[in-house]
A and B are shown apart, each in its own frame.
Chain A
Amino acid sequence: QKEVEQDPGPLSVPEGAIVSLNCTYSNSAFQYFMWYRQYSRKGPELLMYTYSSGNKEDGRFTAQVDKSSKYISLFIRDSQPSDSATYLCAMSAGTASKLTFGTGTRLQVTL
């Protein structure tokens, strides 16, 4: 079983839709959870960072963590064509400095 599983997509939605992106993980040591956005030929850019179970909201983005189910989600409200990118989940065990990434989900928001 992979440490972090993420559906690669592609996921295509119309503009204005609510997008749900998900990752599951197997390592109980993961305590810090992040979502990165990666545009084509660019480096990953941090969108959201959480370290506890529950929801965290930032503008149109909501990150959700369920440690008991080892499941994290990113919701994007009122999706825009500029949201078209690959979304990477990443997690860390806390004391270690490295991040373990999912494979990324490619999102396409159409007009």
Chain B
Amino acid sequence: EPEVTQTPSHQVTQMGQEVILRCVPISNHLYFYWYRQILGQKVEFLVSFYNNEISEKSEIFDDQFSVERPDGSNFTLKIRSTKLEDSAMYFCASSELGAANTGELFFGEGSRLTVL
């Protein structure tokens, strides 16, 4: 069964350092997303990406965040200068159609980011 894969599974970094989280979406999917979940809190939308550009972003997704699809398979989330409050589980998701069309978002298993 096709799946969304994410690396690393866990990253520990110092405050102020740059972090890149990587995702390989399902191959025929067109819509890509990043969500995050702070421990004990709800899953929150960060950004959606379609046709090589951001289609929507939340207030959380400020200038410290960026996304990129550097090649035909990877989708990355970069945090330029990490803060303590960036510590969370980051989920990549993809869908064949937009989330509102089918709801069928396939999530990866997440990358846990710990900022010290």
Task: State the A residues within 8 Å of B (CB).
Answer: 4, 31-32, 34, 41-46, 49, 88, 90, 92-104
Contact = CB atoms under 8 A, between A and B. Distances in A.
A103 B109 contact: no
Contacts of A4: 42
B99 A97 contact: yes
Contact of B45 (A41, A99, A103): A99
A1 to B, nearest CB: 15
B82 interface: no
Interface residues of B, number: 28
Nearest to A48: B103
Contacts of B44: 101
B99 A92 contact: yes
B43 A32 contact: no
Contacts of A43: 4, 91, 93, 107-110
A13 to B, nearest CB: 22
B75 interface: no
Contacts of A104: 42-43
Given A96-B56, A98-B48, A103-B41, A44 B103 contact: no
A64 to B, nearest CB: 16
A42 B48 contact: no
Contacts of B110: 41-43
Given A43-B93, A97-B48, 5 more contacts: A97-B99, A98-B33, A101-B42, A103-B41, A104-B43
Contact of A93 (B35, B48, B100, B106): B100
A7 to B, nearest CB: 13
Given A32-B100, A43-B4, A49-B102, A100 B107 contact: no
Contacts of B43: 44, 88, 90, 99, 101, 104
Contacts of A100: 45
